[in-house]
């Protein structure tokens, strides 16, 4: 079973119903700011990753993955509920959707994100994954809080035309069409979700619009990362953690 330790944190796969319920409780706390359980039908078909504090046993991070044999299965994904993804149907290699990524709001330690990505890197390598994708979330549904970040995404990180997701959700913010501002790089990075920042550092790209999701109290962009496009130096760093 996949297991990885860095500093005081250890990752493992959920192996029992109690593990998944713990992840659902952490997700509810992170996305809705209160106690409860965040549950959907995808939990039954996904593999769940847990990051725990080895000293206390506290769950500090979790995410789930859904493997696809290729783009022909793209409509099985969670993301396909919100984005029209027919452009990705021709992607030939194995794909993995990474979803519901969250870190406990009371724990501030960059090692958590590093060890989570280390575990994901090992999973990608072991399963010969060629594309990683998912929805990267911004807290809240007011796009005005993130205009510099969206402007940076427009200018530097839009998806290649051959893979570009189209609009499907009823409520979206078409930032690539609407924004004419030059981004303030410092403000943009300060408001950038850590998960999305990591995707982009590896060469990832995003949709040209954000979905407004009141049920989760988020804005989110479709995010894709072709594994072969990750810079070699970045791959070495990730594999160093994964090893």
**pLDDT value, residue 149:** 98
**pLDDT value, residue 241:** 66
On the question of pLDDT at 127 being above 70, the answer is yes
Query: Which residue, 51, 101, 74, 99, is CA-closest to 166?
Result: 74
> What letter does residue 159 receive in the DSSP assignment?
P
- Classify 9 as helix, strand or coil: strand
pTM given for the model: 0.93
Strand 210-213 versus strand 172-173 pairing type? antiparallel
Query: Which residues, in sequence order, are CB contacts of 205 under 8 Å at separation 6+?
Result: 157, 158, 159, 160, 163, 223, 224, 225
Q: Which two tokens stand for residue 197?
A: 């920042």
**pLDDT value, residue 2:** 65
What are the residue ranges spanned by the domains of the chain?
Answer: 3-242
pLDDT digits (tens, 9 = 90+) for 184-194: 999 999 999 99
pLDDT band at 242 (very low <50, low <70, confident <90, very high): low
- Say yes or no: domain 3-242 is CATH 3.40.630.30: yes
**pLDDT value, residue 238:** 72
């Amino acid at each position: 079973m996949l297991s990885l330790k860095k500093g005081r944190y250890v990752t493992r796969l959920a192996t029992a119903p109690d593990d998944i319920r713990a992840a659902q409780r952490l997700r509810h706390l992170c996305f809705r700011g209160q106690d409860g359980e965040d549950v959907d039908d995808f939990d039954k078909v996904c593999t769940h990753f847990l990051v725990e504090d080895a000293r206390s046993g506290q769950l500090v991070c979790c995410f789930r993955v859904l493997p696809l044999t290729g783009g022909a299965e793209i409509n099985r994904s969670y993301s396909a509920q919100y984005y029209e993804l027919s452009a990705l149907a021709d992607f030939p290699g194995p794909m993995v959707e990474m979803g519901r990524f969250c870190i406990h709001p009371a724990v501030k330690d960059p090692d958590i994100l590093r060890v989570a990505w280390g575990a994901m890197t090992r999973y990608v390598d072991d399963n010969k994954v060629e594309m990683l994708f998912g929805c990267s979330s911004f807290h809240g549904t007011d796009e005005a809080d993130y205009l510099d970040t969206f402007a940076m995404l427009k200018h530097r990180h839009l998806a290649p035309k051959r893979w570009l997701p189209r609009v499907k959700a009823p409520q979206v913010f078409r930032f690539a069409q609407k924004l004419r501002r030059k981004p303030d790089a410092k403000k943009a990075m300060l408001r950038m979700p850590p998960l999305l920042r990591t995707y982009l550092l590896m060469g990832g790209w995003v949709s040209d619009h954000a979905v407004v999701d009141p049920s989760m109290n988020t804005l989110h962009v479709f995010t894709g990362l072709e594994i072969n496009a990750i810079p070699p130096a970045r791959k070495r760093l990730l594999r160093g953690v994964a090893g």
